[in-house]
Amino acid sequence: MTEITEAILKKVITKRSSDTHKSDYGRILLIGGSENYGGAIIMSTSGAVNSGAGLTAVATHPVNLTALHARLPEAMFIDWRDAKLANLIKNMDVVICGPGLGMSDLAKQIMVILRRCTSEKQTVVLDASALDLISEDKSLLPTNAGHLILTPHQMEWQRLSQIRIPFQTDSANIDALNQLIPDSNAMLVLKSNHTHIYDGKGQVFVNPLGNPGMATGGMGDTLAGIIGGFVAQFGPSVDTVLAAVYIHSLAGDLINKDNYVVKPTEVSKVLPKLMKKYSELS
């Protein structure tokens, strides 16, 4: 097991060249946000936008449109029932699916569309409800994607892997990931007080940062957005995912110095300044 260090941020986060435009920093689509869980997709979108994604679109329930645009006018909107969703998926570099998605029949239909429309050129980040839906029906797993990143918390991983939380050892998790996605194009970000990252090839990394103030609803949704934002800009490597996980907790630790509770929305706000700092050190 390898502990992630601050050096990963200096390695991954680079200065932006003057001769660039928004398309150079990745196109992301986030899918989620049912009637009752619109906050989840908004927080995830905030993570993606504030971590530097070039173009960000959100497919969600239309009830979330006003709140989304009030909080994040940078993000484009599409009704997740729109027939154009399939083509939009095909044109994205990264798709994040699951925050607030829910377990409805429509959510299952969206997962079918995602599976049908993704290609080897894309990275798909699966979180929350998307993982629970796959737990019920493994055929929903979008194995056509070039890279898959699973971001469950321990209970979601228990449902998906059938490994009870007390028995989620590194070796058991590696075996379960390889059985679920045999061709090793997947990474597992297993969220806990010290998140473990599995690269699909047997390597295990542990995040030493994080604090109890981050035990707040929406923290995992925000992390999924940050992972997507980093992958869009810096590529779908293990280092990129490690950097996203590390900076998420680093931001949380900085906020926790003066705050008993760390809100996910505050984590997102800190990202641009932190990324600027480390881009100067790269």
- Binding residue positions: 40, 100, 153, 191-195, 220-221
- In a 13 Å sphere around the CA of 14, the CA atoms on its Cβ side amount to 11
With beta carbons less than 8 A apart as the criterion, state whether 210 and 253 touch: yes
Residue 198: strand, helix, or coil: strand
The tokens for 273 are 């300044």
What are φ and ψ of residue 57, in 5° steps? -125, 150
Please state the residue numbers annotated as binding site for (6S)-NADPHX: 40, 100, 153, 221
Burial of 211 (0-12, 13-18, 19+ CB in 10 A): middle
Amino acid, single-letter form, for residue 192: S
The secondary element (H helix, E strand) that includes residue 56 is strand 55-60
- Could you give the angle at the alpha carbon of 225 between the alpha carbons of 193 and 104, nearest 5°? 95
**Two structure tokens written together for 267:** 């984590």
